[in-house]
Structures are given as structure tokens and as C-alpha cells.
Amino acid sequence: MRKQERYEGIIEWFSQNMPVAESELRYDNPYQLLVSVILSAQCTDKRVNMTTPALFEKYPVPELMAEAEPEEVYQYIKSISYPNSKARNLVGMARKLVSEFGSVVPDDVDQLQKLPGVGRKTANVVAAVIYNKFVMPVDTHVFRVSARIGLTRGAKTPLQTELQLTKHIPAELLPTAHHWLILHGRYVCTARKPHCERCGIARWCKYLEKNPPAGEAVNDEK
């Protein structure tokens, strides 16, 4: 199967069956999403959503978090992975957001990456989710799923994955396609054992081409 055919089939299926795909992080404004995405690094959205209500009640605006010390923030996020470093990053982010950006979360990926704790993936998530920028955030789900189903080939880094995906996915679909791949990886194309029997994009999946169900031959024409 040609790569373009694979992309077209997968995009069409998701467009028809998952026209609305959104972040599972709970937030009310750009500041809260930024905090949540920083916390979500190597941590589940479910755990982050359990943690942030008390954190946002204590620090509802960046000005209040900027006045805190990392040790204080740590008490609210200690159930999160790497709480010490994340507490430092959150306080540093809030202070810089207040002092250099007037407490407004920037919409530019490069500007976002100037904030402590914000790498390219986090910046892309905020830019895509809040500002609908035509960018492709690559987390572990996107990296893994795009390679498994055959959307990317030979990508060794998240940036290489990002570049391949943005080359083939229409720009206006990138913010939504990011969530398609995340949700597919989270609930269907899971890491240890993909649920191919209930996968809507199975007919375009490279993994299934190479690993057909027992007793079934590979269809080279599909």
C-alpha cells in the first residue's frame, strides 16, 4: 500500500467517525492547560486531573503561583511523577509568564518554549489546543502509534515523527489529528497488545499487514 493511500484512508475514517477529538485534560483557561500539560509529562491525564483541582484552587492565576515557593507547590503535586522538578518548573514558568508575558500564555511555539518546563511537545499542545495553530504535538502515543500503523517510517525522535506527519496531514487537520492518534493509542492501539479486532483503521494498518490474524492471508491489494 502506498503511504499516501494509507494516510488518506486513515484520515477519512477518523474524520467520519471521530470528527470531534479533544484533550482529556481538564482546564478552564490557557494557564490551567499549560500547568496540566507540564504535569502530564510521563504521567497519565487521569492522575493529572485528580491532582489539579486542589492546585488550581490554591493557585487560580499565575500571579499567585509566581509568589509561591517550589516546596509549597510540591505539596499539591506530590502524587505526580517527578514532583520536585515539576514544582520548580511550575513556579519558574509562572514567574516568567508574569514578568515577561504579562500573565498571558503566548500563542507562539518558540515563545512558549522560553518558559521553564515547556519543551516542543508541550508548546505544540498549548498552541494546538488553545490557539488552533497548525502544529503536531508528538507524545509517546503519537510517536508509537504513527510508527506502528505506518504513517511514519524510520523516525527515531519526536521531531522526526512530527516532520513526517506534518508533511502528509493537511495543516488544518493537525490539531485534531494529534488527538486522533493519542486517543487511538490510549484506548485501541495500546502499547502491549493492540485491540485490532475493534480497530476502525485496521484495513490501512501496516502492523496488520505484517501480522495478520491467524488463518488469514495478507491482502496485498488493500
Active site residues: 121, 139
Burial of residue 129 (number of CB atoms within 10 Å: 0-12, 13-18, 19+): buried
Query: In one letter, which amino acid is 70?
Result: P
Q: How big is the chain, counted in residues?
A: 222
> What are the cell numbers at 55?
492546585
What whole-number distance in Å separates Cα of residue 123 and Cα of residue 112? Answer: 6
CA 217 → CA 72, 193, 201, distances in Å?
60, 21, 18
Report d(CA 152, CA 164) in Å as an integer.
6
CA torsion sign for 103, 106, 109, 111 is negative
Question: Going by C-beta distance under 8 Å and a sequence separation of 6 or more, which residues neighbour residue 11?
Answer: 169, 170, 173, 177
